[in-house]
């Protein structure tokens, strides 16, 4: 078992208990159930890794990891309402089973319980931890708002998209690492580097996500390949294609977007390949990975201690599902 | 100007600034606007009163008061979505102007900013304050869930209704006082008494609310008199009427509820009067007020210091709007 798998198991065993009161069960039981349908627990594991990089893992890192996991799940419950999504991780979403009011209120309660976990940590770093947690939570909300705003916009530039991804996805990964590092006793300089490692890695992670939607192996990729293309989602690939495609390719692209032909995904993939969007995306991902690793290199601990974070980085950006 | 009005003005001047970042304005501007359409600021004033009872008002009481006001407004924004309410304080609700997704996300962001205010206070009581704030926030969510559950139930008993009101309304009033008292340096015993004062007062406050809906003076009461009756809302009055009306009065009541005649409000008010529901409600309110005052009496500070809280109590339960 790798270092990552060990931490994942260790977090699961800490997290395997009831998080909410019994009553009202109409509010809390759907939340317990949602948390069991787990996902990969990437963020809590990153929190534990952030601690481990600087010292033995302290109980407080588990508390913060739980808070992060609850916060992340709260955003999923609310995002699913906003997106009117019927499914999440292959199961019906909370609002589609229990109704919007309960999903909305349940998300609220989940967020409060996240703060309960934060409040379990030792008092001396509570203020710092809470400050970073709050800053991140606000940024995640901002990212979601930009994402919704972008849906209504005709064009979105690459820098605008990257800023949105940074807020919506990257900062929570980065903060997970930094929060763990605070518990581990990292200096401010090292905290900054581990945050930047996570922020850059988060963008590379999203590029991989967007890439898999278009070029993933349908036998491995959990979702329908081309789902983003079908729904005209502005992704790294689509934004770059719109910025670079010319001549016939541009015409095919624009008419496929406007007219939704039955072979839309196929047509747009032809454009993506012809314009070298796949190669471009991989190169951009490598660039963010390189930035991330350079910050990891700067952290003043032995190279051996950094192995798990390096493993995580390569796992996240080479995954095929 | 009374002590209460002074504190209200003082809170308003502390609170009169932008609470959210500028961007994305699509997320934050609706929240700023909502906060300007103020309401009576009862909860933040109670927080300041809780501090003032034990000592000079400390800056931290203002921070906590702001957090409470933001939390309260966050619940209003989300409750309005759940209730599909078109109006709040005479103005269109956030979701009806800006759409549900923005109102939902905006509520979330408002709650995070509430925690930002909490984090401004001195570190030494941060843990205690956060614990009470979280406990209360969870209870308010539970109260809202019970309220929604009750809508689907055929009958609700008085103890069930009181428990719901306690969670949905009372605990936040009680916690506002106690949080202020923590800043003021109150002992645990005194904190307990001020909380119980607020909890009992909160129930009396709700009885008055329910009473005004049925028996308020239409020229003073802000909302349509009889709105609760029209929508078959389970209120203190309705629950007691259903428990006590017999014979012809019971028949009129049940058929008015079931059949929604044009003179429904009139008919049900006849039943309420015939069954002495108004007298009963006033007596019940007095009983909770007496309980509240007995806790106020127990607090170990001079009688003179308690004057503003006594003034508040009588204001809240004798108000006509």
A43-69: pLDDT as tens digits: 999 999 999 999 999 999 999 999 999
pLDDT band at B117 (very low <50, low <70, confident <90, very high): very high
Q: In this predicted structure, which of A286-290, B32-36, B182-186, B317-321 has the lowest mean pLDDT?
A: B317-321
Return the structure tokens found at B130. Answer: 């956060």
Residue A102, pLDDT score = 97
Chain B contact for A149, CB < 8 A?
A: yes
Q: Which residue has the tokens 């509010």?
A: A27
Contacts of A157 (CB under 8 A, 6+ apart): A239, A243
pLDDT at A220 over 90: no
Residue pair A4/A312 in contact (Cβ under 8 Å)? The answer is yes
Q: Are B115 and A134 an interchain contact pair (Cβ–Cβ within 8 Å)?
A: yes
What's the CA gap between A132 and A114, in Å, rounded?
14
Average pLDDT over every residue of B100-127: 98
Residue A222, pLDDT score = 67
CA of A24 vs chain B CAs: smallest distance (Å): 6
Residue A320, pLDDT score = 81
Residue A24: cis peptide before it, omega within 30 degrees of 0: yes
Return the structure tokens found at A132. Answer: 């970073």
Q: Which has more pLDDT, A223 or A13?
A: A13
Contacts of B124 (CB under 8 A, 6+ apart): none
**Number of helices followed by number of strands (H, E) in chain B:** 16, 2
pLDDT at B1 over 70: no
pLDDT band at A225 (very low <50, low <70, confident <90, very high): confident
Q: What is the pTM of this model?
A: 0.96
Which residues from A are below 8 Å from B112, CB to CB? 134, 137-138, 141
Residue pair A164/A151 in contact (Cβ under 8 Å)? The answer is no
Which residues from A are below 8 Å from B127, CB to CB? 119, 123, 126
Q: Specify the DSSP class assigned to residue A120.
A: T
The 8 Å CB, 24+ separation contacts for A260-267 are A264/A229, A264/A230, A265/A225, A265/A226, A265/A229, A265/A230
pLDDT at B55 over 70: yes
Kindly provide the ipTM of the predicted complex, given to two decimals.
0.95
Q: Are B107 and A108 an interchain contact pair (Cβ–Cβ within 8 Å)?
A: yes
What average pLDDT does chain B have?
Answer: 95
Rounded alpha-carbon distances, angstroms, from residue A113 to A34, A117, B68, B117, B271: 15, 6, 17, 18, 45
pLDDT band at A90 (very low <50, low <70, confident <90, very high): confident
Residue B222, pLDDT score = 67
Chain A contact for B274, CB < 8 A?
A: no
Tens of pLDDT, residues A124-162: 999 999 999 999 999 999 999 999 999 999 899 999 999
Which residues from A are below 8 Å from B118, CB to CB? 130
Chain B contact for A24, CB < 8 A?
A: yes
pLDDT at B100 over 90: yes
pLDDT at B5 over 60: yes
CA of A134 vs chain B CAs: smallest distance (Å): 6
pLDDT band at A1 (very low <50, low <70, confident <90, very high): low
Tens of pLDDT, residues B16-27: 999 999 999 999
Residue B135, pLDDT score = 98
Nearest by Cα to B241 from B277, B204, B278: B277
Chain B contact for A153, CB < 8 A?
A: no
Residue pair B19/B113 in contact (Cβ under 8 Å)? The answer is yes
Q: Are B134 and A112 an interchain contact pair (Cβ–Cβ within 8 Å)?
A: yes
Count Cα atoms within 13 angstroms, Cβ side, for B106.
Answer: 32
Tens of pLDDT, residues B280-300: 999 999 999 999 999 999 999
Contacts of B180 (CB under 8 A, 6+ apart): B46, B47, B48, B49, B50, B51, B52, B53, B61, B64, B65
Chain A from 53 to 112: CB within 8 A of any B CB: 78, 81-82, 100-102, 104-105, 107-109, 111-112
Q: Are B138 and A82 an interchain contact pair (Cβ–Cβ within 8 Å)?
A: no
Residue pair A184/A272 in contact (Cβ under 8 Å)? The answer is no
B123 vs A115, A116, A123: nearest CB? A123
Tens of pLDDT, residues B219-278: 876 677 898 999 889 999 999 999 999 999 999 999 999 999 999 999 999 999 999 999
């Amino acid at each position: 078992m790798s270092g990552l798998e060990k931490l994942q198991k260790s977090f699961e065993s800490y997290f395997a208990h009831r998080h909410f009161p019994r009553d009202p069960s109409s509010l809390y039981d759907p939340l317990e159930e949602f948390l069991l349908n787990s996902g990969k627990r990437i963020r809590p594991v990153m929190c534990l890794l952030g601690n481990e990089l600087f010292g033995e893992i302290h109980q407080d890192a588990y508390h913060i990891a739980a808070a992060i996991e609850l916060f992340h799940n709260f955003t999923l419950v609310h995002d699913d309402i906003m997106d009117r999504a019927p499914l999440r991780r292959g199961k019906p979403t909370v609002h589609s089973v229990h109704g919007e009011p309960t999903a909305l209120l349940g998300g609220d309660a989940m967020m409060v319980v996240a703060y309960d976990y934060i409040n379990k940590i030792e008092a001396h770093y509570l203020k710092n931890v809470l400050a970073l947690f709050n800053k991140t939570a606000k940024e995640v909300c901002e990212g979601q708002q930009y994402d919704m705003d972008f849906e209504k916009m005709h064009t979105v530039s690459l820098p605008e998209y990257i800023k949105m991804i940074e807020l919506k996805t990257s900062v929570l990964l980065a903060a997970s690492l930094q929060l763990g590092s605070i518990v581990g006793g990292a200096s401010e300089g090292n905290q900054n580097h581990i945050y930047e490692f996570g922020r850059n890695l988060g963008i590379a992670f999203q590029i991989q996500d967007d890439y898999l939607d278009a070029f993933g192996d349908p036998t491995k990729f959990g979702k329908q390949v081309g789902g983003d293309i079908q729904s005209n989602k502005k992704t790294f690939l689509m934004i770059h294609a719109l910025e670079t495609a010319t001549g016939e390719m541009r015409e095919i692209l624009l008419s496929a977007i406007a007219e939704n032909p039955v072979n839309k995904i196929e047509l747009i993939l032809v454009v993506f390949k012809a314009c070298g969007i796949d190669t471009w995306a991989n190169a951009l991902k490598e660039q963010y990975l390189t930035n991330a690793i350079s910050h990891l290199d700067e952290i003043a601990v032995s190279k051996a201690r950094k192995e798990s974070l390096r493993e995580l980085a390569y796992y996240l950006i080479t995954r095929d599902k």
